[in-house]
Structure 1
Amino acid sequence: MTKEEYKKKFDEDDAVGWLSMDEVTERLYPGQEPRNYGPNVRYILGGEDPLDGVSIFDSKKQQKHYHIVSYGMSNLYYDPESANSEFSGWGFEFTFRLAPFDGDKGDPLWVAALMQNLAKYVFDSKNWFEEYHFIPANGPIRLDTNTDITALAFIEDPEMGSIDTPNGKLQFLQMVGLTTKEYDLLAKNPKTTEAKKLLDKLKKGNPLLITDLTRKSS
């Protein structure tokens, strides 16, 4: 799409990238209204949180779980200059699948905070995440929680995949909880092939790679 075609198709009020993401979530969750959480002040207006929103969907696929999607790592809004861009913003949005946890009273808002912290890291360091990257959380991924899940790996969301938007390509990058033992094994041999091997192993009993805070090492 050329810049001129972009201007003809959209206007300044169109959240072009956001609408492209909504097409994916509406296909997966027809008729479901997600619960949306966002900062009081948008990042572009001086707010501290880079993500303009985090949406929580209820999924019953494989097992009952929360499917959480970030909005803000990609280019969400009207931007004719991005018409020929290869990637939309950083080229990805975070997703996360979480089994219900007794310690949460209502929606797991700690996941939104975790996503915001990861977004801040990317915006500040200019280092982005890709499939099969992995990082320690420097403690439980849910603070003050007795859980073995203390690290994250990244993989393309098995249902959302990647899409081409008018603002460039966008990959839905799912965060997957790892135990301390699993992270230590990867840290000793930090190759993409090893991360893929571990995630493929986890997929055998958990195809959607739903994070369960009560899980022990595989």
Structure 2
Amino acid sequence: MGFFRRKRQQPPTPPAAPDPAAAGPADLDDLDERGWDAVTQAVSQHHPGAREFHVAYSPGLHFGSALQGCSALPGPDHWFYVTYGLTELWGKDSDDPTTSGFGYELTMRVRRSPTEETPPEWPYRALVVLAQYVRSGPQELWLGDRIRLANGVTDDPDGALTTLAVRLDPVVEPIETPNGRVAFWQAVALTDTDVEEAKRSTTDEVLERLATDNALLITDPERR
């Protein structure tokens, strides 16, 4: 998994189809990226002019990956991550005209220092793990759910963040696309202490408490 600037992303090709890597420029121009472009437009308007960092998940959606890719956009004090692949990125595949794929893409906000020029990679891993749960978990993912990650949220083996909670993104509003409605669900990292508190009350109450001093619920990997 490595960084690259996305110029024009082509969909993965099923084995029976021609290899898109062999397509000429005119063929690539014909690719239908309406779902992908709608997601990009929805998030980029909140980060005008920001450089987009993108990773692709191999081997791609059609070959078993939970996501096609994930982008990170820099803000003054945080990185904004958004997934691509839980909704229908290209043509309409499902029979439900009102909803695109699962109906949402995942977002995450991660603390950024003013001198940090490259986004950390661990959020890409955390988000694809959450996407794997969406696709193969024992039950559907809902707003307010908490999913514990086996190896923790960050790449720090001593880190205190163990669990991702899900809420509706407070900034990026749901959109209507040619493939159906797409919402944006924010993943917020919690400690075991937060989780115990949520068990005594609710996830929403814990997130409301955390938002008192951190309205966007930016994940700080150093939080204990």
TM-score range, shorter chain: 0.7 to 0.9
More helix by share: 1
CA separation of 1:172/1:25 partners in 2, compared to 1, >3 Å: closer, same or farther?
same
Residues 12, 91 of structure 1: alpha-carbon distance in 2 compared, 3 angstrom cutoff: farther
1:50 to partner: Cα distance: 1.9
1:205 match: secondary structure: coil
**Alignment deviations for residues 3-27 of structure 1 (CA, whole Å, 9 cap, x no partner):** xxxxxxxx97221111111211221
**Number of matched pairs:** 194
Change beyond 3 A, Cα 1:144–1:201: closer
Deviations 1:92-117 (A, max 9, x none): 1110101138xx99421121122112
Q: Corresponding residue for 1:211? A: 219
TM-score (norm 1): 0.80
Displacement after TM superposition at 1:143 (Å): 3.5
* Residues 1:167 and 2:179 aligned together: yes
Is 1:70 matched up with 2:88? no
RMSD: 2.4
Mapped to 1, the partners of 2:156 and 2:49 lie a distance apart of 36
Letter in 2 for 1:78: G
C-alpha distance 81-138 of structure 1, shift in aligned 2 (>3 A): closer
Aligned to 1:138: 150
Which AA in structure 2 matches 1:72?
G
Counterpart of 1:158?
A: 170
The alpha-carbon distance between structure 1 residues 136 and 12, as it changes in their structure 2 partners (threshold 3 A), is: same
Identity %: 27
After alignment, is 138-147 or 13-22 more displaced?
138-147
Q: Could you say which residue in structure 2 is the equivalent of 1:3?
A: none
Post-superposition CA distance 1:111-146 (Å, at most 9, x none):
112211222222223733222111222353113432
Q: Is the CA contact 1:13–1:78 (under 8 Å) kept in the aligned structure 2? A: no
Query: Which residue does the alignment assign to 1:6?
Result: none
Distance 1:26 1:98 in 2: 17
Q: What secondary structure is seen at the aligned counterpart in 2 of 1:199? A: helix
CA contact (8 A) 2:58 2:65 kept: no
For structure 2, the residue ranges without an aligned partner over 5 or more in a row are 1-28
- Larger RCO: Structure 1 or Structure 2 (Cα < 8 Å, ≥ 6 residues apart)? 1
Pair 105,79 (structure 1): closer, same or farther in 2 beyond 3 Å: same
Matched, 1:58 2:58: no
The amino acid that maps onto 1:54 is: C
Quick one: structure 1 residues 200 and 38, their matched pair in 2 at CA, closer, same or farther if it must change by over 3 Å? same
Match of 2:17 in 1: none
Say whether 1:100 aligns with 2:122.
Answer: no
Q: Taking structure 1 as reference, are residues 15 and 185 closer, same or farther at Cα in structure 2, changes over 3 Å only?
A: same
Deviation of 1:85 (Å): 2.0
How many angstroms apart in 2 are the aligned matches of 1:128 and 1:67? 25
Local SS of the residue matching 1:28: coil
Structure 1: 5+ residue stretches without partners: 1-10
- What SS does the corresponding residue of 1:160 show, helix, strand or coil? coil
> Deviation at 1:188?
4.6
Other structure's SS at 2:106 match: strand
Distance, in Å, in 2 between the alignment partners of 1:144 and 1:26 is 30
Query: 3-state DSSP class of the match of 2:108?
Result: strand
Separation in 2, partners of 1:81, 1:28: 29
Structure 1 residues 191-206: aligned runs within 5 Å:
194-206=202-214
